[in-house]
Structure 1
Amino acid sequence: MELRARMMRLALATAAFLPGLALAAPPASPPADPALSSKPASAATVAAQQAVAAALPQEDGRDAAFAAQGFVASAADPVIRDAAGRAVWNVAAYDWVKGPAPASVNPSLWREVGLLKQHGLFAVADGVWQVRGFDVSNMTVIRGATGWVLVDPLTTKETAAAALALVNAQLGARPVSAVIYSHSHADHFGGVRGVIAEADVAAGKVQVLAPAHFIEESASENILAGAAMGRRAQYQFGGGLVPGAQGQMGSGIGLGVSSGTITLIAPTDTIARTGDTRVVDGVPMEFQIVSGSEAPSELNVYLPGPKVLLSAEMSTCSLHNILTPRGAKVRDTRAWAGYLDEALHLYGGRSDAVISSHCWPRFGQAEVSRMLASQRDNYRLLHDQTLRLMNKGETPTEIAEELVQPAAIAADWFNHGYYGTYSHNAKAVYQFYLGWYDAVPANLNPWPAAERSKRLVAAIGGPAKVLAQGRAAMKAGDYRWASELLSAAVFADPANKAARAALADSYEQQGYQAESAIWRNQFLAAANELRNGRISSATSSQSQDMIAAVPTQLLLDSVATRIDPAKLAGRKMAINLVMPERGETAGVELTGTAMLARMGAATGAAATLTAPRRLLLGLLFLKMPLAQLEAAGLKVEGDRAAVEAWLAALDAMPGAFNIAEP
């Protein structure tokens, strides 16, 4: 049915969807304008990479040994496909990363990707394995009394099914007896239908455990700002880029994100407190609640038998994000450091291995304790020193420039900013406490970027002078200043081809130099769009599971963000929405300037719409014709003109928007 197919593609705002990993470069074609082609690393970038290499910690071989330890096997066919035969993941997409770093890749990031690229099934301890490299995240496998207990079944059902097939092929086929979601981000639960069936959950054959408030947070975290987050995520994860020495180099804590189908099955049991215990298919487990660190609903799992701590995303092989570049609510750095300290004292002395939902494990009690303590200090320093400088009156940009990771912390590779950075995180800590405003009145009411750029370009003496100064900064290797000048030239006149080409070049060199994979992605994605136009990146397809999980109230609140009051022309009315299959009725009140939605019928409603919720979503999110949905079963009672006036006042769902240009 066409309606069902369209509903399956409904991107509404149920999540900020992540770009899928490009499996191969598109066919090469000569650029129409050589100025718009990708450039090699400049002399300034080569010098910068050499300086980075000279300052890196001494290589002791531990990470390489830990990343390879316990390898069992990987997939015979590296390409994972969906039911239609479309490739959704390639475990071998980064196998070419070997040898010395090319000049176009930060040598520290090159090393990180060389470790992250290792894929397959790995033994961690007696009865504990991980499948790594089959998605951006890891799937942990625990041998239960009757079957496999899986923690974090990857992002999509296709990659999860492939990971489980590898487990069964290598370790012997067993049913899945339980699934544990460590937290409320889709790359840690989206593949669940690839490993279990909902009927088995309903029949009590399979347990599904999660931290408290998981279902609410997984459904709602990115809804209201989903369109903006989804577009920004294309930059964060390198939408339109392909793996390569001048292209995408992973995400810092993983490689790309699979482009299969995200699914969700609701938990049958939730963990509310640190210290809670369960016996899951005969396996004793202890839990630590770390909600509010990397995710709003998150837990860690301790296995006392094999002495393994699964630290989810509280600790990984990189400094994490306090505020993700794609956008999210700012995280609590002080609480994050506190959770690490708590884990150190609860589990450090009794863990022989620490594993996470990304990256590779660390082995040995001393190593586990050292990592937890060092990462604790990393986050605590970020928090405390940002506040120290903030309380001296320094602004976010001043703090970000001044705050440098101490040598004692930088000596541990896992503290480096392959994902989050000191610069971005310091600004996030400032925002957590004081917001975006730095108290400088000139920044209280600035001109928008396009208008400011026009005035700046005019003040400098016109676009030719701005372009000349930008090129001079490029020649001097000052790409930050070059980007500021050239971005002003582009925002003042997006048709200025010379400025676009030069700005792309300045972004590209900064991308090459970035240690953070997602900083690299953002610079290179912007350069790519300036040269080639906005590129639509493949995204993970959305299933009915995610749509069904979103509370109706939250969906209608999202609809309210698209009301254009001018189109209402001051009209006031109420409309009721009845969803028989859910036993729900919602009342929508239009006040003339706003839309208010409440669960329960509105009194004096001008009209009532009765239909399965999926039809109402088609009406409100896809803006499908009312007559078409009536033919599919939607019923309109009362003032049809009132309904049509309401629908006409709704903006269409936002599509992709410009970032690197106005």
Structure 2
Amino acid sequence: MKFLSQQRDLYAYLHDQTLRLLNQGATGIEIAEDFTLPPELENAWHARGYYGSVSHNVKAIYQRYLGWFDGHPTSLWQHPPQALATRYVDVLGGVPAVLGKAQEYVDAGDLRFAAELLKHAVFADPDSSVAKNALAEVYQRLGYGAENPTWRNFYLVGALELRKGITPPPLDIGGGMTAALTVEQLFDSLAIRVDGPRAAADPLTIEWRFTDLAATIRTTLSNGALIQTANPTSAVDVDLTLTLTKEQLLGLLSGGDPDDLDHTGDPAVLGRLLALLDSDDPGFAIVTP
């Protein structure tokens, strides 16, 4: 019972004390830096940062209530990372100067600020192997020193990318997981893959009549957004009507031929929609531009 009560106390304390300090004007980073737990919770083995951390959770609580903006006007319209890094490195005297200052902070044991400096050096000059190797070394040391595995993995994956380039993870959700989604969830997954700028000038409407679910879904592509309406009651002109099962929908999304289904209208409309979807690519950069 003590375990359960301490878990209750831990999350209540994290939440309530974050809001207390938030209401005093502290930012998420400021709260996380100085946040301490009561002695009983601090010394409980199950409250340690074996997954996540107090610092990480406090910043998440802050963001839940106030979002990304920390209240400082300069945060409203910052340059994106590469443009910001180029300017910082220019002010500091170029990449060699940044590398020299970063080493001073490494030697002083301030790996956190050394990583901050080297991050700018890498973004300002992505081809600098010296800058990338220096940052990789700092990330490796930070990773080995991190108590919780999520931080450790981020640091070490960053070091790997700097040394070896991007290594796409073996991400494969598999047909079983896809089949477990509802049809509404399947259409939601399509909506977040629509390339809005390309799709904005190509409106279309498809009505999907599912015989096994006794349900109809109307999807409308309008202004680059794919909107779904369940069991629509209004009559509108549609470009294509498909009569199918959920299993057949899964086949279509895997490259099946709509001509094999009962349909009215132009089956080429489905091809137009699918051609406007981005392909999933888990191999994106994390610590390089």
Q: 2:163 aligns with which of 531, 535, 544?
A: 531
Tell me the distance in 1 between the aligned counterparts of 2:204 and 2:85.
Answer: 43
Query: Is 1:441 the counterpart of 2:73 in the alignment?
Result: yes
Q: Given residue 269 of structure 2, which amino acid in structure 1 is its aligned partner?
A: A
Q: Given residue 655 of structure 1, which amino acid in structure 2 is its aligned partner?
A: P
| Percent identity of equivalent pairs | 39
The CA deviation string for residues 591-610 of structure 1, in whole angstroms up to 9 with x for no partner, is 23322111236631111234
How much has 1:641 moved relative to structure 2? 4.1
How much has 1:473 moved relative to structure 2? 1.6
Tell me the distance in 2 between the aligned counterparts of 1:512 and 1:655.
Answer: 25
Please name the residue that 1:481 is paired with.
Answer: 113
Please name the residue that 2:137 is paired with.
Answer: 505
How much has 1:541 moved relative to structure 2? 5.3
The CA deviation string for residues 373-418 of structure 1, in whole angstroms up to 9 with x for no partner, is 3333322322222122111101011111111234332222222111
Q: 1:604 aligns with which of 230, 237, 242?
A: 237
Please name the residue that 2:180 is paired with.
Answer: 549
Q: Size of the alignment, in residue pairs?
A: 287
Query: Is 1:566 the counterpart of 2:197 in the alignment?
Result: yes
Query: Is 1:587 the counterpart of 2:218 in the alignment?
Result: yes
The CA deviation string for residues 228-283 of structure 1, in whole angstroms up to 9 with x for no partner, is xxxxxxxxxxxxxxxxxxxxxxxxxxxxxxxxxxxxxxxxxxxxxxxxxxxxxxxx
Structure 2 length normalisation: TM-score? 0.89
Whether contact under 8 Å (1:606, 1:642) holds in the other structure is yes
- Unaligned 5+ residue runs, structure 2? none
Q: Given residue 278 of structure 2, which amino acid in structure 1 is its aligned partner?
A: D
Tell me the distance in 2 between the aligned counterparts of 1:414 and 1:453.
Answer: 40
Please name the residue that 1:375 is paired with.
Answer: 7
Q: 2:100 aligns with which of 465, 468, 473?
A: 468
Q: Given residue 552 of structure 1, which amino acid in structure 2 is its aligned partner?
A: V
Whether contact under 8 Å (1:568, 1:645) holds in the other structure is no
Tell me the distance in 1 between the aligned counterparts of 2:268 and 2:223.
Answer: 16
Please name the residue that 1:161 is paired with.
Answer: none
Tell me the distance in 1 between the aligned counterparts of 2:44 and 2:151.
Answer: 21
Please name the residue that 1:616 is paired with.
Answer: 249
Quick one: structure 1 residues 376 and 655, their matched pair in 2 at CA, closer, same or farther if it must change by over 3 Å?
Answer: closer
The CA deviation string for residues 171-223 of structure 1, in whole angstroms up to 9 with x for no partner, is xxxxxxxxxxxxxxxxxxxxxxxxxxxxxxxxxxxxxxxxxxxxxxxxxxxxx
Please name the residue that 1:122 is paired with.
Answer: none
Q: Which runs of structure 2 are paired with 1:406-417 in the superposition (5 Å)?
A: 406-417=38-49
Please name the residue that 2:56 is paired with.
Answer: 424
Quick one: structure 1 residues 398 and 445, their matched pair in 2 at CA, closer, same or farther if it must change by over 3 Å?
Answer: same
Q: Given residue 76 of structure 2, which amino acid in structure 1 is its aligned partner?
A: L
Query: Is 1:577 the counterpart of 2:205 in the alignment?
Result: no
Whether contact under 8 Å (2:179, 2:250) holds in the other structure is no
Tell me the distance in 2 between the aligned counterparts of 1:515 and 1:479.
Answer: 15
Q: Which runs of structure 2 are paired with 1:385-404 in the superposition (5 Å)?
A: 385-404=17-36
Whether contact under 8 Å (1:607, 1:640) holds in the other structure is yes
Whether contact under 8 Å (1:553, 1:598) holds in the other structure is no
Whether contact under 8 Å (1:454, 1:491) holds in the other structure is yes
Q: Which runs of structure 2 are paired with 1:190-201 in the superposition (5 Å)?
A: none
How much has 1:434 moved relative to structure 2? 1.7
Whether contact under 8 Å (1:563, 1:595) holds in the other structure is yes
Quick one: structure 1 residues 372 and 643, their matched pair in 2 at CA, closer, same or farther if it must change by over 3 Å?
Answer: closer
Structure (1 or 2) with the greater helix fraction? 2
How much has 1:561 moved relative to structure 2? 1.7
Q: Given residue 447 of structure 1, which amino acid in structure 2 is its aligned partner?
A: H
Whether contact under 8 Å (2:99, 2:121) holds in the other structure is yes
Whether contact under 8 Å (1:556, 1:597) holds in the other structure is yes
Whether contact under 8 Å (1:567, 1:648) holds in the other structure is no
How much has 1:540 moved relative to structure 2? 6.9
Please name the residue that 2:83 is paired with.
Answer: 451
Please name the residue that 1:629 is paired with.
Answer: 257
Please state whether the residue corresponding to 2:218 is helix, strand or coil.
Answer: strand
Structure 1 length normalisation: TM-score? 0.41
Q: Which runs of structure 2 are paired with 1:85-484 in the superposition (5 Å)?
A: 368-369=1-2, 371-484=3-116
Q: Given residue 645 of structure 1, which amino acid in structure 2 is its aligned partner?
A: R
- RMSD over aligned CA atoms reads 2.3
Please name the residue that 1:251 is paired with.
Answer: none
Q: Given residue 591 of structure 1, which amino acid in structure 2 is its aligned partner?
A: S
Please name the residue that 1:652 is paired with.
Answer: 279
